[in-house]
Structure 1
């Protein structure tokens, strides 16, 4: 993985990468995902518990799905930020948008973190980074979804101003055929920005 540029991949973004995060187990680098990262991200996804992937519309443990992800990044339809230490992917955040849809004002935020680092604050940092990217891109609403039993993830998003908006009953099935409910959480960007201004915060996160 050789992405070392300190300028945004997306020309509309002003957020600079790579950037270093302090962490109890050693510094973690935040940087943009690009085509050279496909193998490392695939290995990261394949090591995750299957249940962690149920909220995704496609199985990212499949190489062809990872290839599609990389192509979407190249088109500018996805911004992906990786959390990396010693060339190992520890987590990622993806901001997905469809500029040609009726919901082009809405971005979807997806966050995945290595199980060993859950509860360490990395998931919140990645979610915060994704929200900041969506905010600077002018999105009016950010949505995230997850299975209802992922209480830790739900708490992370609620701390960032997301609120439950829908429950999709038996919306996904795991590889054993068991059905699971998904909860959809939403963030009103204008409301969050107003709260930030009220607290004297002038830049997104």
Structure 2
């Protein structure tokens, strides 16, 4: 996947300055610490439990193969958020990307999640994707509201779709966004550089 944006990039939020950079194998230990500090329920945003070292190592392998792009949010050199753009070039949906995102409890509600989701959205535009999806449990209302504010709309409800560590099942809501429409509007406004893959 290619993107028109360059990293590291710094953004001011209510939480202070946040630095975004592309995740590499060198970040593995810091991301593991971040994941282990997350509430278990938050890990249900992701299809795999990244608080397990072998799962995290497999994730880094996917990054190195170019199958996914993961962006880290850092505050004072500590990982406070991670956003991933997943795209399966060999599926029937190579034009669709999935956003997977988690943010530390201590920086929620103060702009970090919004800034991270906007960065991932920009990467999707640069990658030439037509559609984005995101999924989460139905009780994660703040996250749902955040993505709806970015133009995502509910498309599906998957009942009892994930099972947590205690064996309890949870419903998943799938939200979608037609990225191609955003790209077309930006091009109509004369902003082609913002949406052209590098």
Superposed, which structure 2 residues align to 1:55-70 within 5 Å?
55-70=45-60
Deviation at 1:113, TM superposition (A): 0.5
Within the alignment, does 1:27 sit opposite 2:17 as a pair? yes
CA contact (8 A) 1:161 1:192 kept: no
Q: 2:142 aligns with which of 149, 152, 155?
A: 152
Deviation at 1:55, TM superposition (A): 2.9
CA contact (8 A) 1:95 1:110 kept: yes
Structure 1, unmatched stretches of 5+, are 1-9
TM-score after normalising by structure 2: 0.92
The aligned counterpart of 1:103 is: 93
Q: 1:130 aligns with which of 101, 120, 123?
A: 120
Q: Secondary structure at the match of 1:61?
A: coil
CA contact (8 A) 1:166 1:183 kept: yes
Superposed, which structure 2 residues align to 1:65-80 within 5 Å?
65-80=55-70
Within the alignment, does 1:168 sit opposite 2:158 as a pair? yes
The aligned counterpart of 1:4 is: none
> What is the distance in 2 between the residues matched to 1:196 and 1:182?
32
The aligned counterpart of 1:16 is: 6
The aligned counterpart of 2:133 is: 143
Structure 2, unmatched stretches of 5+, are none
Q: Deviations over 1:61-112 (max 9, x none)?
A: 1001100111111111111111112321010110011111111111110111
> What is the distance in 1 between the residues matched to 2:76 and 2:115?
19
Deviation at 1:201, TM superposition (A): 7.4
Q: Pick closer, same or farther for the CA change 1:171–1:19 going to 2, 3 Å.
A: same
Query: Where is the helix percentage greater, Structure 1 or Structure 2?
Result: 2
Deviation at 1:57, TM superposition (A): 1.3
Deviation at 1:21, TM superposition (A): 1.1
Q: Deviations over 1:11-50 (max 9, x none)?
A: x222111111113343111111100000000110110001
Higher relative contact order at CA 8 Å, sep ≥6: structure 1 or structure 2? Answer: 2
CA contact (8 A) 1:20 1:27 kept: yes
The aligned counterpart of 1:112 is: 102
Within the alignment, does 1:191 sit opposite 2:181 as a pair? yes
The aligned counterpart of 1:90 is: 80
Q: Secondary structure at the match of 1:169?
A: strand
Deviation at 1:196, TM superposition (A): 4.3
